[in-house]
């Protein structure tokens, strides 16, 4: 299948071609036609499967083909759980909408609201926002959501993990009931299924790359290790990989900070990215990692949403995640875009029951390395 089969506007086809896209991914192939028909949609897809373009393209087509209720009004709202993901989504709107007249703006907390309020005077049709800052500006009457035509909830499962449900419900009070709603999530636990009627009307559900699937391009291995030997083992692994860049996951923010300090004492360049870091610090850490200024990025799960590093060779689970689905998300950061990658996990004796669950649902062999 090719993008031409979606009958997208020439301006979008040109941007798709310039972005280097040729064949739609499974989630794009399934979601785009349904969104173009105007259906509410539940899209189940992991990070890195092309889901952002799956809603950005039909939304841009909708804006071009439908007359606005009010000129200069906000017509599209995308809610995301993290600043990084909000920025990434807004960049995709800019990339794929470069030959259209539509303006987009990103809104999130952790930075001054003054510049964001100033930019709103440019009258963007598309807002990509984290829920807290959005509601602050709505209540200050700096944003009017009464003209929203399309609402997107991106990474909805993570928004619930982060306790945004009350914010999400509050947003509903400010937007019209007559709208198209697109609900993208990596998992559909019972807690989310109960909420679906609040947001969606007769939705179509499409699934791509179920959460239990692991890409064949990722070579997985595990070390069973004593907690006190983790740092020593980590340094050995990093040395063995000849200074290759590594995205490393810890369970807590405090653990991430502590690990960075220990690595830097051993001469390894590293930075942490998590919710307690300022937006400026997070952006600098990400920029330094992408430019190869630092070797190791230490991240918590929530902060890692929205981080997209091309040609990342190595992911290390310094601490195992609490859920199998999270393991899949973590290691899916490597082995992308036709590249191969390695995923290494450290497992302590206490984590053996959790590791057995991961192995059971993994579907691919995992090499156990004796340390």
In the chain, domain spans:
3-207, 218-369
Cα 210 to Cα 49: distance, rounded to the nearest angstrom: 11
Q: CATH code for 3-207? A: 3.40.50.300
Closest residue by Cα to residue 314 from 251, 250, 267, 244: 244
Cα separations in angstroms, 240 against 54, 113, 234, 271, 331: 39, 45, 10, 20, 19
Residue ranges of the chain with per-residue pLDDT less than 50: 211-212
Contact 184, 50 (CB under 8 A): no
Instruction: Provide the phi-psi class of 226: left if phi over 0, else alpha when psi is between -120 and 50, else beta.
Output: beta
pLDDT at 244: 84
pLDDT at 325: 73
User: Topology of domain 218-369, per CATH?
Assistant: Rossmann fold (3.40.50)
Cα 24 to Cα 5: distance, rounded to the nearest angstrom: 10
Structure tokens at 243: 């200074």
Evaluate whether 3-207 and 218-369 have a shared fold: yes
Environment class of residue 206 by beta-carbon count within 10 Å: exposed (0-12), middle (13-18) or buried (19+)?
buried
Cα 328 to Cα 318: distance, rounded to the nearest angstrom: 15
Q: What percent of the chain has pLDDT over 70?
A: 93
Cα 180 to Cα 264: distance, rounded to the nearest angstrom: 49
pLDDT at 337: 61
Instruction: Provide the phi-psi class of 123: left if phi over 0, else alpha when psi is between -120 and 50, else beta.
Output: left
Closest residue by Cα to residue 313 from 251, 247, 216: 247
pLDDT at 209: 59
Alpha helices, DSSP H, located in the chain: 10-18, 26-36, 51-65, 83-96, 113-120, 131-139, 156-161, 165-172, 190-193, 196-199, 230-240, 253-265, 279-290, 301-304, 324-331, 352-362
Strands 270-273 and 246-249: unpaired
Three-class SS state of 314: strand
Euclidean distance between the first and the last CA atom of the chain, given in angstroms as a whole number = 47
């Amino acid at each position: 299948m090719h993008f031409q089969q979606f009958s997208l506007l020439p301006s979008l086809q040109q941007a798709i071609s310039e972005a280097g896209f040729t064949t739609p991914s499974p989630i794009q192939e399934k979601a785009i036609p349904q969104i173009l028909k105007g259906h509410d949609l539940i899209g189940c897809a992991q990070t890195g499967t092309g889901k952002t373009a799956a809603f950005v393209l039909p939304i841009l087509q909708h804006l071009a083909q439908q007359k606005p209720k009010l000129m200069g009004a906000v017509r599209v709202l995308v809610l995301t759980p993290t600043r990084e993901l909000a920025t990434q989504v807004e960049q995709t709107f800019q990339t794929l909408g470069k030959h259209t007249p539509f303006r987009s703006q990103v809104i999130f907390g952790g930075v001054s609201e003054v510049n964001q309020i100033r930019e709103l005077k440019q009258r963007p049709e598309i807002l990509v926002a984290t829920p807290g800052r959005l509601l602050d500006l709505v209540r200050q009457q700096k944003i009017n959501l009464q003209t929203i035509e399309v609402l997107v909830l991106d990474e909805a499962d993570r928004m619930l993990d982060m306790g945004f449900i009350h914010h999400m419900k509050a947003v509903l009070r400010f937007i019209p009931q007559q709208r198209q709603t697109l609900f993208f999530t990596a998992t559909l636990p019972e807690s989310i299924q109960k909420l679906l009627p609040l947001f969606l009307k007769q939705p179509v559900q499409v699934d791509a790359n179920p959460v239990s699937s692991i890409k064949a391009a990722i070579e997985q291995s595990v070390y069973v290790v004593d907690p006190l030997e983790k740092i020593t083992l980590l340094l050995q692994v990093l040395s063995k990989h000849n200074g290759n860049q590594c995205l490393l996951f810890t369970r807590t923010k405090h653990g991430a900070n502590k690990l960075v300090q220990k690595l830097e004492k051993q001469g390894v360049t590293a930075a942490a990215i998590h919710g307690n870091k300022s937006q400026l610090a997070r952006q600098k850490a990400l920029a330094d990692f992408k430019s190869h200024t630092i070797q190791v990025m230490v991240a918590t799960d929530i902060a890692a949403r929205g981080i997209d590093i091309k040609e990342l060779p190595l992911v290390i689970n310094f601490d195992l995640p609490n859920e199998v689905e999270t393991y899949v998300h973590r290691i899916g950061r490597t082995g992308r875009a036709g590249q191969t990658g390695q995923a290494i996990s450290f497992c302590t004796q206490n984590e053996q029951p959790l590791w057995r669950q991961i192995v059971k649902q993994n579907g691919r062999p995992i090499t156990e390395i004796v340390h």
